[in-house]
Each structure stands twice: as structure tokens, then as C-alpha cells.
Chains A and B, each alone.
Chain A
């Protein structure tokens, strides 16, 4: 909350189309994360980045790609290879990748496939 922005709030994708979700933070946090949330379920980690120009796959990375060219930005691309992309996507950041870091979440983007 506060300092993490995600856009757009709602996004519609056609079959076979790639879409990119934006995530920007001005908290000077080193680590950033992307989660997917489906109705009635918890958050599943897609990708995370501990530092600029480095990122790691999470539990459900297939069909997604990310980049981390700037500390403030961590965009997520949902590719056409992701067969069931309709979900609520949450970006988060934390001060450092450590044992007791807490995560701050953005407002999320709801992606719908037409």
C-alpha cells in the first residue's frame, strides 16, 4: 500500500495476445515480486527479483516473463502460452531479500480473457 502502483486496474486480453502489466515502486525497495490470485485461493508466486537485472522463477512461471531493468520497475508479460490467464495479479516489493522482510502490495490488476 502506498508507493506501489500497478496499471491498468482492469485488462482485457484476446486469445493469442501478449499483454504487459506494469508495476512501479518508489519505496527504494530492492526486491520485487509478482503473484497470481485466483478466486478462493491464496497467492501463488510467479517471479521475483532480488536486485536489478536479476530475477528468478517462482512456483508458476510458465507462460509469463519479466524484466528488471530499473530498481523501480518490474513489468510482467502474460504470454499467449499462458492458457488460463484470467486472474488477479498482485505486485509486491520488500526492502531486501532476507529472512524477516515484509512485503508491500500494490492495488493489483484484474486480467480477463475475451
Chain B
């Protein structure tokens, strides 16, 4: 089945520093979604990217979809302690079902 690589697996940052997580697929994607899972919680949908080269922003979060629709990134500017959690990308190829990346666990040190 489809595979999605997500890096890094872990990231520790000082509060106020930036953070980026990357998702890569070997195949062209139909769209990609991003979810956030707080410690002990469940994934919550953040955003969906559909168009080639698409960029979307949510306050301090910037989401990008690559021109070839094979990769995506999530960038957080000036992290806060409330950003702590695991960020997952979820990719959809031709099979219509979502394939989740392994996630990036973000720790923000005060």
C-alpha cells in the first residue's frame, strides 16, 4: 500500500523557536491532511491541502503542499507550550483511504 514518510520523529524546541515537520510520498497524492494529537488525547483535524503548491495559514501555523503533490510541510512560528503534541500528516492517493505518517512529537521547553 501507499507509504508516507514523516520526519523528524521527535523535536524538542525552546519556547519561541520555530518548528517544521515534513511529509514525503513516493507517489503523487490527491490531497493531504494534517492532524494534531495532544498527549493522552486523540487526533484532531487541522487542515487539508488539495492544490499543487498550495499554502495555507492558521495563525502561527503554515501548511504547504509541494508542486509535484508528493510532499508537504507544517511550520510553526514562535512555538508556545500549547503547541505540544504529535503532528500527523495523512495522505490520500488513488486508493481514497487515508494513510497516516508516523507523526512528529513536538516538545516545547519553557
> Which A residues lie at the B interface, using CB under 8 A?
1, 35, 40-45, 48, 58-59, 90, 97-100, 102-108
Contacts and interface: CB of A to CB of B under 8 A. Distances in A.
Question: Which 6 residue pairs are nearest across A and B when measured between Cβ atoms?
Answer: A42-B100, A105-B42, A43-B100, A42-B102, A102-B45, A105-B43
A108 B42 contact: yes
B59 interface: no
Nearest to A59: B1
A111 to B, nearest CB: 15
Interface of B: 1, 6, 9, 30-31, 33, 41-45, 48, 50, 88, 90, 92, 96-98, 100-103, 105
Question: Which secondary structure characterizes the binding site on chain A?
Answer: loop
A40 B37 CA distance: 12
Contacts of A106: 42
A42 B33 contact: no
Contacts of A102: 33, 45, 48
8 contacts: A40-B103, A40-B105, A42-B100, A59-B1, A99-B96, A102-B48, A103-B90, A107-B41
A4 to B, nearest CB: 9
Nearest to A105: B42
A104 B101 CA distance: 17
Contact of A45 (B31, B92, B97): B97
Given A97-B96, A99-B96, A42 B103 contact: yes
Contact of B31 (A44, A59, A100): A100
Contacts of A42: 6, 88, 100-103
A103 B92 CA distance: 12
Nearest to A44: B100
